[in-house]
Amino acid sequence: MSIERLQVLITGQVQGVGFRPHVYHIAHQLQLTGSVKNTADGVLVEIQGLLTDNFLAKLTASLPSLARVDGIKTKKTTLLPDEIDFQILKSDAGAVQTMIAPDTSICSACLQELFDPKSRYYHYPFLNCTQCGPRLTLTRNLPYDRHQTSMDAFPLCNECQRDYADPLNRRYHAQPTACVQCGPRLSHSMDRITDAISEGKIIALKGVGGYQLICDARNDEAIRKLRRRKNRDEKPLAVMFANVNSLHNTVLFDLQEEELLVSRARPIVLLKKHVSVNNVEMLSKSIAPGLSHLGIMLPSSPLHYLLFHALAGFPSEFNWSEKSIPNALVVTSANISGNPLIMDDSEAQDQLASIADLVVSFNRKIITRADDSVVRVVCKSPLFIRRARGYAPTPIKLPYAIPSTLALGGALKNTFCITRNDEAFVSQHIGGLTNKSTIEFFHESLIHWTRLLNVKIERIACDSHPDFYTSQLAHDYHLDIVPVQHHHAHLASVAAEHHIIQPALGLALDGYGYGSDGGAWGGELMLFDSFHIQRLANLSPIPHPGNDLAAREPWRMGAAVLHTLGLNHLIVERFSNEPRAHELATFLKSSARIPMTTSCGRLFDAASALLGLTPVSSFEGQAAMQLESLVTELDVLSNGWYFENGQLNLLPTLKQLLTLDPVKGANLFHGTLIAALTEWITTIAQRISNHIIVLAGGCFLNKVLAEGLTERLTQRGFKVYLPQQLPPNDGGLSLGQAVIAGTNSCV
């Protein structure tokens, strides 16, 4: 064995995650000399000694928990005979740290310190280390350094400075590190906060990515008050529990769902309600009325843990993982209907005074908002409903590099996407660009992300809808604009994350997208790649009375279907509670030109209304969610559909619903829809000899539909792809737009 010297370049998420101390540790253990530093490409290491092979093995065997290694390149280099130690060097001048990590829940080492009376972090709600804590939401600029974050207002005390400078300390270069001596302070005592919660009050609590409204999840009165004050009738609320062991009589979950719950991103996970949750007085019934699933999350910040500890009466011994803790908290974004989550302290004082009984703050500024992420497990993979805190800004790897493109996304559930080489950075969930505050949030975030990514945008992509805010904004950039058809973007987004580059079949099922013919599309079977789409077939159009109004008032779609079935005379009787039923029946009968839609989302609305479930929605998607919640066992009406000129028509099934109770109806509608789609797709796929199929669009948030269709198509020999890294709904559009625009500029 002889002494050698290696140069090692490590790329990926390796900066600002404790990577250099990790390298330093290993070099020390193996008695190697050399150095480590951050460069524009990643982390560059030089090692010299006897056991350089062991170094590489150890390096990858245990990575810091936030690190992700994409590549390691090594080369031999000239020995430096006089070198005597291993050093951490300053970053290269001009080297930009490639990206920051997402905000991450408290790590186990910090959690231990939080409840250790001997630790100087004991009960300090803002402790963190290189392995945990806020990142995206407090970083103003790169390179990721304390003075570029909102922690610049808190000079380190001597003890923190010592830890920060010690390469063998967990807080070595932990930019947001702080302690009770030098860090941010909470505005109220834990006693005061938990007393308020126990008294049934609503508190607004500043969190990592914005304010949250919190109340006791078992207090029906408190929740009704929250709903009343927030003007949120029935939309489900998320519930936070202290740990997994506290969930057993509330929801059902498997290992994979548990992994998501405890993952460092700590998303809200949709879980099936346990039967006993309705019998026992465990949770208020007004949390998710009419739905079979609950949104559950575990504490993500030290402050959340302190809250549960205080609610339990400050026990001195507290084992977070083993004990079941009865307290449960409703935790929901603090915003004024439709506006973005509030992050500013003075705005919170002004705007939340009418909702919260107590506004609890701390003096660290939030730089950019991030809502809680929401996921559910579908086909044994996570499916995003909303992607924000804990996931953004992790990039999605593209199958190939494209010129830097900014895709502006859609109108609702907006996200935007910026590409850099073969990486796509999709923003945190922004929301519906329908009001001034959300549009401001969009612009703030766009400026923030453009600054962090430091790329020169060459091309703009937007939806082909001419009236969307984002489509008009595209012109302000004075760059090439690529308008992308809505469903093409949905499908290309899923294809991009799975690296599918050949032409594939795509089934896009959603609420509304602007069609190539200007029509209201939303049930489309296409052949597509990153360049083209060919609309092979679609759901048979049904009347769409009142366009946007029809989405909010499913009874209108029920009436439209009755009219199409030749049962106009039943409209008034069936929807007797709707004051405008007579007017709509007359309009449908007498009007020569009623707008039509191929939307699958509107088909769900019609089915729900015909079963008497949700005549008027109090939140988007309510009708479809309630219908899905009722499914017990799929049932197929064998003559429930027919094909006409390649179009799929489900009117016979909708007619049958008129004779059924809601549970039977939900079973029949889902079962028949899945069977019909399978037949339809199989017939067309055989004709064009393509058996790769991509599923996209908001309807695939429906687990029954997504799993049922995937299973059937797989049995027929299809290779089926659902999105896993972005939501199937409009939150995923921007990635598809970016890939299409970027790919088209390559030829």
For Zn ion, the closer CB: 154 or 441: 154
Q: 114 - beta bridge partners?
A: none
Binding positions for Fe ion, 491-530, rule CB under 5 A: 510, 513
Residue 131 contact among Zn ion, Fe ion, none, beta carbon within 5 to 8 Å by kind? Zn ion
Residue 129 contact among Zn ion, Fe ion, none, beta carbon within 5 to 8 Å by kind? Zn ion
Contact 130, 17 (CB under 8 A): yes
| Smallest distance from Zn ion to CB 128, Å | 6
Binding positions for Fe ion, 694-733, rule CB under 5 A: 730
For Zn ion, the closer CB: 161 or 189: 161
Residue 107 contact among Fe ion, Zn ion, none, beta carbon within 5 to 8 Å by kind? Zn ion
Question: Of 428, 188, 429, 235, which Cα lies nearest the Cα of 330?
Answer: 235
| Smallest distance from Fe ion to CB 697, Å | 6
Residue 160 contact among Fe ion, Zn ion, none, beta carbon within 5 to 8 Å by kind? Zn ion
Residue 610 contact among Zn ion, Fe ion, none, beta carbon within 5 to 8 Å by kind? none
Residue in the block written with tokens 């006409």 = 644
| Smallest distance from Zn ion to CB 200, Å | 34
Question: Of 415, 395, 396, 417, which Cα lies nearest the Cα of 406?
Answer: 417
User: Does the protein bind Fe ion through residue 257 (CB under 5 A)?
Assistant: no
Residue 179 contact among Fe ion, Zn ion, none, beta carbon within 5 to 8 Å by kind? Zn ion
| Smallest distance from Zn ion to CB 73, Å | 30
| Smallest distance from Fe ion to CB 7, Å | 48
| Smallest distance from Fe ion to CB 490, Å | 6
Buried-exposed string 54-73: b where 16+ CB fall within 10 A, e elsewhere: ebbebbeeebbebbebeebe
Q: What residue type is assigned to position 113 of the chain?
A: E
Residue 630 contact among Fe ion, Zn ion, none, beta carbon within 5 to 8 Å by kind? none
For Zn ion, the closer CB: 160 or 453: 160
Site size for Fe ion (CB under 5 A): 3
Q: What is the DSSP string of 323-334?
A: S----EEEEEE-
Residue 157 contact among Fe ion, Zn ion, none, beta carbon within 5 to 8 Å by kind? Zn ion
For Fe ion, the closer CB: 42 or 409: 409
Residue 215 contact among Fe ion, Zn ion, none, beta carbon within 5 to 8 Å by kind? none
Contact 72, 9 (CB under 8 A): yes
The span from the CA of 200 to the CA of 194, in Å, is: 10
Residue 704 contact among Zn ion, Fe ion, none, beta carbon within 5 to 8 Å by kind? none
74 CA to centre of own chain: 37
Q: What is the DSSP pairing of strand 33-38 with strand 43-49? A: antiparallel
For Fe ion, the closer CB: 287 or 693: 693
Q: What is the DSSP pairing of strand 504-514 with strand 692-696? A: parallel
| Smallest distance from Zn ion to CB 162, Å | 10
For Zn ion, the closer CB: 115 or 514: 115
The Cα-based distances of 27 to 10, 54, 611 in angstroms read: 15, 10, 68
The span from the CA of 104 to the CA of 256, in Å, is: 19
Return the number of other C-beta atoms located less than 10 Å from residue 77's C-beta. 13
The Cα-based distances of 526 to 504, 690, 735, 737 in angstroms read: 8, 11, 18, 16
Q: Which residue is closest to Fe ion by CB?
A: 510
The Cα-based distances of 457 to 129, 420, 481, 602, 706 in angstroms read: 34, 9, 12, 37, 36
For Fe ion, the closer CB: 310 or 484: 484
User: With 0-12 CB in 10 A as exposed, 13-18 as middle and 19+ as buried, what is 689?
Assistant: exposed
For Zn ion, the closer CB: 132 or 610: 132
For Zn ion, the closer CB: 110 or 226: 110
| Smallest distance from Zn ion to CB 317, Å | 22
Residue 510 contact among Zn ion, Fe ion, none, beta carbon within 5 to 8 Å by kind? Fe ion
The residues binding Zn ion (CB under 5 A) are 107, 110, 129, 131-132, 157, 160, 179, 181-182
Residue 492 contact among Fe ion, Zn ion, none, beta carbon within 5 to 8 Å by kind? none
The span from the CA of 286 to the CA of 224, in Å, is: 7
| Smallest distance from Fe ion to CB 445, Å | 21
The span from the CA of 374 to the CA of 733, in Å, is: 17
Residue 18's Cβ-side half-sphere holds a number of Cα atoms within 13 Å equal to 25
For Fe ion, the closer CB: 27 or 696: 696
| Smallest distance from Fe ion to CB 306, Å | 41
The Cα-based distances of 257 to 51, 176, 315, 341, 374 in angstroms read: 41, 30, 29, 27, 12
Question: Of 233, 241, 307, which Cα lies nearest the Cα of 269?
Answer: 241
Residue 182 contact among Fe ion, Zn ion, none, beta carbon within 5 to 8 Å by kind? Zn ion
User: With 0-12 CB in 10 A as exposed, 13-18 as middle and 19+ as buried, what is 505?
Assistant: buried
For Fe ion, the closer CB: 483 or 513: 513
For Fe ion, the closer CB: 134 or 697: 697
Binding positions for Fe ion, 404-433, rule CB under 5 A: none
For Fe ion, the closer CB: 64 or 513: 513
Q: At what angle do helices 703-715 and 662-688 cross, to 10 degrees?
A: 40
| Smallest distance from Fe ion to CB 505, Å | 18
| Smallest distance from Zn ion to CB 114, Å | 10
| Smallest distance from Fe ion to CB 486, Å | 6
Residues that bind Fe ion (CB under 5 A): 510, 513, 730
